[in-house]
Structure 1
Amino acid sequence: MLLPNLPQNHFTLWGGEAAGIINPINPMLEPDHIAGILNAANTKLLVALAPFPGTDTWDKVEQIKPLVPSLEKVLYVDMCQFLPSEQVTAIRTELPLPTEDWAINFDRWIATQPDGQLTTKRTISPQDVASLFHTGGTTGVPKLAPHSHYNEVIDSLMVKVHLGFRDTDTLLTGLPTFHVNGALVTGLASFLSGAHVVLASAQGFRSPDIITNFWKLVEKHKITFFSGVPAIFAGLLQVPVGDADISSIKAALSGGAALPREVHRQFEALTGCALIEGYGLTESTAASIANPPAGERRTGSIGICMPYTEGKVVLLDEQGQYLRDCLTNESGSLVLRGPNIFKGYTDPTKNTDIWVDGDWFNTGDLARQDEDGYFWITGRSKDLIIRGGHNIDPGMIEEALNLHPEVVMAAAVGKPCPRVGELPVAYVTLTAGSEVSEDELLAFCQQEISERAAIPKEICIVEEIPLTAVGKVFKPSLRLMSMRYVLQQELEELLGQTGFEVEVEACSKHGQKATIQLLDEGAVAKRAQLEDKLGNYAIHYEFI
């Protein structure tokens, strides 16, 4: 499936699972990545968007068709069916529908099928593979994670029970349905609850109009629940509610990155609803951990395990082998176990060291668990940069910069951003005598990196990049440097250059901790303003 958010997505998702195995793919991936996924899944049938203004999906389909020998047919969805006839004529004059013998109109084909029953006679076992979801975002080579029918049904039941979905609810889907959150949390879990689902346009939250008109959409459709990444909630705080009646909202779910404390506080104050921080990943089908909607919600915590799921924090050795369970509030590796956890990637070579202490799945995230069972993410053993909920592989940035003849070494990390969580930045060392500038290196990246989301926002030329004892880049140190730089800018904007001192260091409890010393009475008087400003970042800080 290669579609934006349309009703046909759900027809394809659940009809595809009834007939065989469905593989939703991010249309923003490059053609070679899409072809790689299709070949890995031995794809026979592709459902994709027909030519439409402002989209390049069909161009990608034509590029990948000869690269996938197993692909027999493409069903195309014509988005013009949602437009007035006079617009359709103009669009189809410029962009005619496909005429290839391997391309079939999705809706015309569906119309020939009986609408009262499934034509497939297959008997589905709970452990049969239902779907293949690719991991990773718009960059990096994705891995395929298979979900069984049981994985999806049990995870949807967990979400329904934990979040309290009812058949009187109306849930809004603004996240893409090629992602497990859009497909399952505001998809299958909603249908299992008998709830109504509203698709927030084909682009979802990527459409500026959806954000601008969000509160009126809530009023019109009496939305009771939606989910998003922290950047969505931060953006909605900039949109006046006006005279919109938003009293229908009962709860919202935030995931994909840490939620800044001030965003959490302001959103709940604005809407009167519970903003629930949660945690999930493709390998756990969807959601696994979340704050309790009717219980205590601890800002910065991802919450407690959902029904049927077990989680714990463990200490691993340098080879990733289990040593012991961590103590209360001791940081370690977050591992999960339960009926929603997948059995391993389709490529066996990707399954090395993903299991810990038997059948516990190593999420790759670092966390601690407090005395009441709440989990807190303290870092990532993975080096992914999470920009607005999208995963960016820093290797792509580093490989591009290493192609430059005057770059000796490059390392990319995430820089804190109040709007999207993290932005990619790169640190480079240069050859002796080099006079290449940071702007020239940025221009080079724009030429070499095809994914816009991965192009670094800043490139810092440094004398040396911190390394481990065995010569590997020590990225935690670079992340701390980026955090300190961002905090320095924010503090200088309010206090000038001499009113404070700031240090950022690793912290076993919080992952990272910023220590701020206010040096004069004028700076102390602005502490409340500082707290408002710094509350927009998911960084733990303390004044001394």
Structure 2
Amino acid sequence: MTAPPKVPASGEGAPFSAPFPVRSIADVRKLEAAPLEATLRARSTYDIFVNAARAFGDKTALTFLRTGDPADTPIRWSYAQLLEGIHQTANLLHALGVGADDAVAVLLPGCLEYHLALWGGEAAGIVQPLNPLLADAKLVSMMNASRAKVLIAYGSDDESGIWSQALRLRPLVPTLTAILRVAPHDEAPDVTAGLVAGDGIESFNLLRARQPAGHLVSGRRIAPTDIAAYFHTGGTTGAPKLAMHSHRNQLFTAWASVVMQGTAASDVTINGFPLFHVAGVLPGSLTALSAGAEIVIPTTALMRNRDVLRNYWRLVEKYRATTLAAVPTMLAALANVPVGDADISSVKYCRTGAAPLTAELAERFERLFGLHVHESFGMTEMAGISSITPCGVLAPVGCVGFPLPYAQVRIVALNEQGGASDQDMPAGEPGMVLFKSPNVFPGFVEPQDTANAFTADGWLATGDLGWMDAQGRLHLTGRSKDLIIRSGHNIDPKLIEDALGAHPAVQMCAAVGAPDAYAGELPVVFATLVPGASATEQELLDFMSARVADAAARPKRVTIIPSMPVTNVGKLYKPELRAMATVAVVAALLDEVLTGMGSAHAPRPHVYIANDGVVTVVPEMTGDDAANDRLHEALRAALARLPVKTRV
């Protein structure tokens, strides 16, 4: 019997590296041959940058594109320069009183300084990346929850009005002692100095330059269990939750991603993910930097820059990108960009995650560009990554690959509330996916949120539905909260989406439940069309209905919309589609009421969903009080039958 290859220890001066290509679950088991403590010896994310600078020195770590024009000259930082900047940033924060338990909030677009804020922030205290597209009230809530001591903010309103936003936030966060202004890359130094107003507002770059670049002045010995970051999650609606990451969580994500993907120092990746999101920070950045790879930052606007999108394949050619990582909505956008005569042969690995991939999009991407799309699964509560389909493993759509080394997975039945039960499902049968893993987070800042995230016996309840195949790979089928429940019958929206997504005119589609007075929910579908293609809603409905075998799952309506609602990181946002479906149902019901009252030609009531989530109906009033009362009574009676909260 051949002995398994020895897995070298990571840390103690060594960058992360893959000892062998992972192609099977047996290879994952080989990685687990030694105890994790013997394999992963680095103690903190700071160790990653010390090791990388020692190993790679003058090699390029970060390349910042000033514009989306491939002919422009970028700004490049080496691994040695990056470590110097991290030292200076950590030392500056230390001088401002930031300790191991203090939060450093960050409001920046795509830029080189973001990496100083991230990794210098973690070396000094706890970094808190914030989404500048969130409302001020949510940002204030999160900064007060973390008791943020310093805010590092972009000194311009050109990107999402960040500087004005930072100034608005300052008086609303009592714990803030300083705002560090990051100057745009093209701002002259004399202009930077003139813009600093004092009174706790300082120039990040000017103060940083005065700090030692060769060591941490604090002398801090970072423990693996120390909290490294607060990432917000669930913040598109409702109150955002702050997920805590330990240094060990983030180290493990970087190491596991390197060994599963085979990331090497020769790799180049264009990271278009925003760095307030865990996908951009950990799988997208720390993984590459821990192995000595090069990261290209495609302008401050990242993939929102139309020039970057239009010239994407030319940028791949110029920088010889080897890895392409993007959410499915971005892959759909890239599928509309002709490759032309650009040489993209350098790309060896294409990976997606964060949202379901349709079979049609995967097939189109492979047909157009010769790139097989490998799916992965990640979540904020697992420091960004849970399972990976490695390079060279050709899996069907919906397969998100092998769970990480040292991770444990369970598939359990749903309970009556749609949560995780303690009943394990047989192999191949779907249920909720549960995890225990070294990168499972210690919890949220709010204890009650933590309690809700775990089962009674300590498993992380992902809320995702899936099953394991005979090869040890995880397949996802959807989210438990996305199930459409029609008269007690659970309908997987993916079955509907796969059927409609096969239509050649459909670019993206999403099925959601619309409220129904009798069935509780009925499936409806929203679709966008491929640019230049045409199809009617009835044509799409007929096409899909012929391919959905379950009669209860056949939608009654297809609605063609110009674009899909997405979150700030490009993930499909189904709550907005459910809201649209609800408004359409209510409007149709109101038409029936008016027709029944002989008022078919009367002005239609205005229907919208208020900030509290209640469907609100505002009818047109007349001078006849009795008629108004009858109308109100009829509307209330009709709406009372729907399984949604309403008000007239």
TM-score by structure 1 length?
0.72
User: Counterparts in 2 of 1:104-183, with a 5 A limit?
Assistant: 104-183=202-281
Is residue 2:581 matched to residue 1:482? no
Determine helix, strand or coil for the equivalent of 1:243: coil
Q: 1:103 — aligned with what?
A: 201
Is residue 2:303 matched to residue 1:205? yes
- Counterparts of 1:162 and 1:515, CA distance in 2: 40
Q: 1:278 — aligned with what?
A: 376
Per-residue CA distance 1:357-380 (angstroms, 9 max, x = gap): 622100011222233332222221
Q: Contact 2:411 / 2:466 at 8 angstroms: preserved in 1?
A: yes
Determine helix, strand or coil for the equivalent of 1:44: strand
Q: Contact 1:25 / 1:34 at 8 angstroms: preserved in 2?
A: yes
Match for residue 363 of structure 1 among 462, 468, 480: 462
Q: 2:625 — aligned with what?
A: none
Is residue 2:427 matched to residue 1:328? yes
Q: Contact 2:525 / 2:555 at 8 angstroms: preserved in 1?
A: no
Q: Contact 2:420 / 2:461 at 8 angstroms: preserved in 1?
A: no
Is residue 2:354 matched to residue 1:256? yes
Deviation at 1:230, TM superposition (A): 0.3
Is residue 2:186 matched to residue 1:82? yes
Q: Structure 1 residues 321 and 364 mapped into 2: Cα distance closer, same or farther (>3 Å)?
A: closer
Is residue 2:177 matched to residue 1:72? yes
Q: Contact 2:143 / 2:173 at 8 angstroms: preserved in 1?
A: yes
- Counterparts of 1:100 and 1:513, CA distance in 2: 62
Q: Structure 1 residues 168 and 466 mapped into 2: Cα distance closer, same or farther (>3 Å)?
A: farther
- Counterparts of 1:500 and 1:194, CA distance in 2: 47
User: What letter matches 2:186 in structure 1?
Assistant: F
- Counterparts of 2:416 and 2:152, CA distance in 1: 44
Determine helix, strand or coil for the equivalent of 2:127: coil
Q: 2:154 — aligned with what?
A: 49
Match for residue 345 of structure 1 among 433, 444, 456: 444
Q: Structure 1 residues 98 and 420 mapped into 2: Cα distance closer, same or farther (>3 Å)?
A: farther
Deviation at 1:333, TM superposition (A): 0.7
Per-residue CA distance 1:229-269 (angstroms, 9 max, x = gap): 10111111111111111111111211111111121122233
User: What letter matches 2:524 in structure 1?
Assistant: M
Determine helix, strand or coil for the equivalent of 1:82: coil
Deviation at 1:485, TM superposition (A): 12
Q: Structure 1 residues 119 and 266 mapped into 2: Cα distance closer, same or farther (>3 Å)?
A: same
- Counterparts of 1:232 and 1:311, CA distance in 2: 29
Deviation at 1:217, TM superposition (A): 0.6
User: What letter matches 2:426 in structure 1?
Assistant: L
User: What letter matches 1:239 in structure 2?
Assistant: V
Deviation at 1:325, TM superposition (A): 1.1
Is residue 2:310 matched to residue 1:215? no
Match for residue 12 of structure 1 among 117, 123, 138: 117
- Counterparts of 2:162 and 2:203, CA distance in 1: 15
Q: 1:380 — aligned with what?
A: 479
- Counterparts of 1:226 and 1:99, CA distance in 2: 42
Q: Contact 1:336 / 1:360 at 8 angstroms: preserved in 2?
A: yes
Q: 1:310 — aligned with what?
A: 408
Q: Structure 1 residues 327 and 500 mapped into 2: Cα distance closer, same or farther (>3 Å)?
A: closer
Per-residue CA distance 1:395-422 (angstroms, 9 max, x = gap): xxxxxxxxxxxxxxxxxx9997965665
Per-residue CA distance 1:483-528 (angstroms, 9 max, x = gap): 6999xx9874695988885475879xxxx96699xxxxxxxxxxxx
Larger Rg: 2
Question: Number of paired residues?
Answer: 432
User: What letter matches 2:149 in structure 1?
Assistant: K
Q: 2:141 — aligned with what?
A: 36
| CA RMSD, Structure 1 to Structure 2 (Å) | 3.5
Q: Structure 1 residues 15 and 419 mapped into 2: Cα distance closer, same or farther (>3 Å)?
A: farther
Q: 1:438 — aligned with what?
A: none
Q: Contact 1:322 / 1:357 at 8 angstroms: preserved in 2?
A: no
Determine helix, strand or coil for the equivalent of 1:65: helix
Q: Structure 1 residues 264 and 514 mapped into 2: Cα distance closer, same or farther (>3 Å)?
A: farther
Match for residue 62 of structure 1 among 158, 167, 177: 167
Determine helix, strand or coil for the equivalent of 1:185: helix
Determine helix, strand or coil for the equivalent of 1:340: coil
- Counterparts of 1:169 and 1:132, CA distance in 2: 29
Q: Structure 1 residues 228 and 40 mapped into 2: Cα distance closer, same or farther (>3 Å)?
A: same
User: Counterparts in 2 of 1:502-513, with a 5 A limit?
Assistant: 502=546
Q: 2:108 — aligned with what?
A: 3
User: What letter matches 1:70 in structure 2?
Assistant: T
Q: Contact 1:253 / 1:276 at 8 angstroms: preserved in 2?
A: yes
Q: Contact 1:28 / 1:138 at 8 angstroms: preserved in 2?
A: no
Per-residue CA distance 1:280-324 (angstroms, 9 max, x = gap): 000000111122322232222222212222222111423646332
Q: Structure 1 residues 466 and 252 mapped into 2: Cα distance closer, same or farther (>3 Å)?
A: farther
Q: Contact 1:249 / 1:271 at 8 angstroms: preserved in 2?
A: no
Q: Contact 1:133 / 1:144 at 8 angstroms: preserved in 2?
A: yes
Determine helix, strand or coil for the equivalent of 2:416: coil
Q: Structure 1 residues 290 and 233 mapped into 2: Cα distance closer, same or farther (>3 Å)?
A: same
- Counterparts of 2:347 and 2:120, CA distance in 1: 31
Deviation at 1:178, TM superposition (A): 0.8
Deviation at 1:382, TM superposition (A): 3.5
- Counterparts of 1:195 and 1:485, CA distance in 2: 37
User: Counterparts in 2 of 1:378-527, with a 5 A limit?
Assistant: 378-382=477-481, 422=510, 464-465=516-517, 474=520, 477-478=521-522, 480-482=523-525, 492=536, 501-502=545-546
Per-residue CA distance 1:18-62 (angstroms, 9 max, x = gap): 111101011111111001110111100010111233531122212
Q: Structure 1 residues 318 and 494 mapped into 2: Cα distance closer, same or farther (>3 Å)?
A: closer
Q: 1:297 — aligned with what?
A: 395
- Counterparts of 1:285 and 1:212, CA distance in 2: 32
Q: Contact 1:341 / 1:361 at 8 angstroms: preserved in 2?
A: yes
Q: Contact 2:268 / 2:322 at 8 angstroms: preserved in 1?
A: yes
User: What letter matches 2:269 in structure 1?
Assistant: L
- Counterparts of 2:121 and 2:236, CA distance in 1: 24
Q: Structure 1 residues 366 and 273 mapped into 2: Cα distance closer, same or farther (>3 Å)?
A: same
Q: Structure 1 residues 238 and 498 mapped into 2: Cα distance closer, same or farther (>3 Å)?
A: closer
Q: Structure 1 residues 314 and 223 mapped into 2: Cα distance closer, same or farther (>3 Å)?
A: same
Q: Contact 1:335 / 1:361 at 8 angstroms: preserved in 2?
A: yes
Q: Contact 1:484 / 1:502 at 8 angstroms: preserved in 2?
A: no
- Counterparts of 1:255 and 1:154, CA distance in 2: 19
Q: Contact 1:235 / 1:419 at 8 angstroms: preserved in 2?
A: no
Q: 2:331 — aligned with what?
A: 233
Which runs of 5 or more structure 2 residues have no equivalent in the other structure?
A: 1-105, 485-492, 557-571, 573-648
Q: 1:26 — aligned with what?
A: 131
Q: Structure 1 residues 326 and 107 mapped into 2: Cα distance closer, same or farther (>3 Å)?
A: same
Determine helix, strand or coil for the equivalent of 1:155: helix
Determine helix, strand or coil for the equivalent of 1:312: strand
